[in-house]
Amino acid sequence: MAVLLEELVKSIEMWLKLIKKPQEYIDPTLDPVLLVPGIAGSILNAIDKKTGRTERVWVRILGADHEFCDKLWCRFDPSTGRTANLDPDTSIEVPQDRYGLYAIDTLDPDMVIGSDCVYYFHDMIAEMLSWGYQEGKTLFGFGYDFRQSNRLQGTMECFTQKLESIHTASGGKKINIISHSMGGLLVKCFMALHSDIFEKYVKNWIAIAAPFQGAPGYITSALLNGTSFVHGWEERFFISKWSMHQLLIECPSIYELMGCPDFQWEHAPVLEIWKEKSNSNGESNGESTVTLESYSPLEAVSVYELALSNNKVNYNGEKISLPFNQELLSWANKTREILRHAKVPEKVKFYNIYGTNYKTPHSVCYGSENAPISDLQQLPFIQSNYISVDGDGTVPAESAKADGLNAEARVGVPGDHRGIICDRHVFRVVKHWLRADHDPYYNPINDYVILPTAFDIERHHEKGLDVISLKEEWEIVSEGQDGEENAASGKPKVGSLSVSHVGGDKTTWEEAHATVIVHPKSEGKQHVELNAMSVSASA
């Protein structure tokens, strides 16, 4: 309540002009940036083809489930590669306000209480504006219909147009792309299919939390049970898991996020089912056996088919079958083949940030030894259990790291899948890679800055000996907890190291000695001194 009160007072003061609005800071030297979101990361508007009426259907709170089912449920058309609305009188478009940023900023701009649950690139946009970026000049967004395939021709054409328009708006500068989650697959598809255009317009590509080899646990559960994009009290006002389930079954993008079956996983993802089988001895004694069956990603397809064989929805009084879609799986396999052969053009630099330290679904298990599954068609109605690995809670770190590309750097950051794009460490790393910090000493791997403060070297010859003495000092600037123990003691830490070497003919030798002094951390800085000397002799 105190935070809300403070914000309220600030708003009133601003209205009364008792405080000045901060002046906008613009850095004209910055290269343009294009933000590309992941699945469910773009506002979608439904357009009534008869009346021209426009309404937001993703994301919204009031009437969310009804409008979602009515306007976004769809069927895949293998002849076009598109998933088309069940409602023929509705078309879906992404708003282009604020140079594409509006659609990927806050996904429900009308939401006041709890609005942070529908933030997407909101925090990153605000952060980049503080660095000197300017909407429409150096900062842009690319929203898209995330139901569609990541290689859909229409999406690729729109991406080309976006790159061309940014290049023009920025005065011919090359573009830095920052993608999140599935947006990384879209960018990689474009790079594979249109490498000449990519190289012409793109300077750097930074992929954040990209499921390069899929998100096996999350997608298995989504295909069989659906998923929720918000949690907590907001979930009661949002779209039900069942409604979301019926959409995802016909989305090419979801099939393209399945665990890659030919990737050499450290621990292969599996679908496990505790199954109950009646004894086949012909006796009606009611006895049965319980076994744990395990299915590889390829073998799990037969389970999806059986589990979803009777899946139907009622749409405007008509029952429509929505089983597991083999045509979509074939399309997704071709997408994976395209992704597998993608290469970063010679003049483009690629960077990869992936999330760590969160339990991430990898394998999925249904039933238990005490509550086995007797009918696979029960699976959509049963809560699954996860076997987890390290990652961001959605994408395993192993998948996100395995980009298959020539990367300038790969950096793991503790953070969850959505929260990682508003993480302070990520901001600092991105700022450095974009050269927006003008700081050559920052180390993005370990998140600190090393500032050389002194360097002195002397060489002289004395009594047949070569003597070299070196003195070097640094300030290490960081915001972490490293050095807190040293600061508490108030004493510097001292360490020393000595090495020696004698030549094979015993006529040459060399000795070196170094002392390192690490002073207590103070005000975020830690002073380090190195004093070293070497002495050598030769016949």
Q: How many CA within 13 A on the CB side of residue 196?
A: 0
Give the DSSP letter of residue 106: B
One-character DSSP codes across 69-90: HHHH-EEEETTTTEEEESSTTE
Residues 6+ apart with CB under 8 A from 494: 515, 516, 517, 518
Task: Please tell me which residue in 417, 423, 432, 519 is annotated as part of the active site.
Answer: 417
CA distances from 533 to 400, 435, 458, 537 (A): 45, 37, 9, 14
Kind of pairing between the strands at 385-391 and 33-36 = unpaired
Whole-number Å distance between alpha carbons of 29 and 287: 76
Whole-number Å distance between alpha carbons of 204 and 431: 12
Task: Please tell me which residue in 42, 179, 181, 384 is annotated as part of the active site.
Answer: 181
Instruction: Kindly state the tokens that stand for 200.
Output: 């012409």
Whole-number Å distance between alpha carbons of 239 and 231: 11
Task: Please tell me which residue in 87, 105, 392, 447 is annotated as part of the active site.
Answer: 392
Q: Which of 195, 119, 211 is nearest to 400 (CA)?
A: 211
Whole-number Å distance between alpha carbons of 319 and 486: 70
Task: With beta carbons less than 8 A apart as the criterion, state whether 297 and 261 touch.
Answer: yes
CA distances from 188 to 46, 119, 399, 426, 493 (A): 28, 25, 15, 21, 48
Whole-number Å distance between alpha carbons of 518 and 487: 10
Q: Cis peptide before 59, with omega less than 30 degrees from 0?
A: yes
For the question of residue 181 being annotated catalytic, the response is: yes
Using DSSP's 3-state secondary structure scheme, residue 41 falls into coil
Q: Which of 346, 61, 334, 34 is nearest to 196 (CA)?
A: 346
Task: With beta carbons less than 8 A apart as the criterion, state whether 433 and 247 touch.
Answer: no
Q: Which of 423, 430, 518, 433 is nearest to 479 (CA)?
A: 423
Whole-number Å distance between alpha carbons of 415 and 118: 18
Write down the H helix ranges in 249-325.
252-255, 300-307
Chain centroid offset of residue 519 CA: 38
Which residues belong to the active site? 181, 392, 417
